[in-house]
A = this chain, B = another copy of it.
Amino acid sequence: MNALPWDAYASGCPTRMVLDRIADKWTVLVLGLLGEHPWRFNALLRKIEGLSQKVLSQTLKRLERDGLVSRTAFATVPVTVEYAITPLGRTLAGALGALIQWSESNIESVQAAQREFDARHRAGVEAPAHP
C-alpha cells in the first residue's frame, strides 16, 4: 500500500512543499484550535500568544489555499469572518494534535536531556573531570 508515486525525500517532489507547510509551528497551533470548532480571526490572534496578525493572516491564507481551512465572511457590520477546518484538514488535525500532545507530555524529558548535554559539554565533552 506504499506504492504511492511520491517521495518526500526527493528534492523535486511536491510533497516537500506540503510537508514544509504543515510542519510549521503556527500551522500546528492554528489547526489544533480549528479542529475543536470554528474561530474568528481576532479570537485566534488572542488565543495563540506571540503570533502576530501578519503571520496569522499569511498562515490562514495558505491553509485556505491548500484546502485545509475554509473562510466564511458574514455581512454584518462590522464584518465577521469565521475560519473552519475542512474535511481534508480534519484528516490532518489528529497528526498535528499529536505533536502538541507530545510536546506538552515530554517537555520535561527534553529539558532534562538539554541540561545533561550542556553540563557534559561545559565539562570535558568526554570523561567529566572531577575537582
Query: 8 shortest A-B CB distances, which residue pairs?
Result: A67-B113, A11-B49, A11-B50, A95-B98, A6-B104, A15-B103, A65-B117, A18-B103
For this complex, into which size category does the number of interface residues on chain A fall? 35 or more
In the bound complex, what is the Cα–Cα distance between A112 and B11 (angstroms)? Answer: 21
For residue A72, CB closer than 8 A to chain B, the reply is no
Contact flag A110-B66 (CB < 8 Å), given A4-B104, A22-B99: yes
- A95 touches which one: B7, B95, B118 (CB < 8 A)? B95
In the bound complex, what is the Cα–Cα distance between A105 and B114 (angstroms)? Answer: 35
In the bound complex, what is the Cα–Cα distance between A18 and B111 (angstroms)? Answer: 9
With most chain B CB atoms within 10 A of its CB, the pick from A8, A12, A68 is A8
For residue A79, CB closer than 8 A to chain B, the reply is no
Interface residues of A in 35-59 (CB under 8 A from B): 47-50
Contact flag A110-B10 (CB < 8 Å), given A92-B102, A104-B4: no
Closest to A28 in B: B23
